[in-house]
Amino acid sequence: MTAESDESDVTGRTILAVDDEPDLLEAVRRILVRDGYTVLSAASVDGALRLCETHEGRIDLLLTDVLLPDGRGPELAAQAGKLRPGLRVAFVSGLADAGGFESAEPGQPAPTVVAKPFTPRTLSEAVQRAMAA
């Protein structure tokens, strides 16, 4: 679990990125830091929930893989939403049918889904959409 940003943090927004593939998680982190976000990283549901509980600042968006070794992204989103009310959610999925996800909070729009493989531009645009939702 790490928190990192670069000197050009112009957004003031923090994203919690969760994926069990270290290379993919690092690529996501680099793209989002380049875009000006502060990025918290976790490789598991447990690690992500620990960050939700212990991170002293805001967490604006949970960007999580749908399938993780210790759970599923939608369940993580529901648990994280209880710890961080108003948390926006976006999923990353390698599944052929990546749609149909419910919102973590009743009455909220369905979360953004980013299909793997994705380009830096696709990821950046998806994060912007999720932040605006």
pLDDT above 80: residue 56 = yes
CB 79 within 8 A of CB 103: no
CATH number of the structural domain spanning residue 50: 3.40.50.2300
**pLDDT tens digit string along 78-129?**
999 999 999 999 999 987 554 555 554 566 667 799 999 999 999 999 999 9
State how many domains the chain has. 1
Indicate the helix (H) or strand (E) that contains 81: helix 73-83
- What pLDDT is attached to residue 6? 39
**Which residue segment(s) compose the domain that 108 sits in?**
2-132
- 4 pairs with which residues across the strands? 39
Helix (H) or strand (E) holding 69: none
Measured CA to CA, the distance from residue 12 to residue 27 in angstroms comes to 20
Measured CA angle at 67 (ends 110, 36), to 5 deg? 65
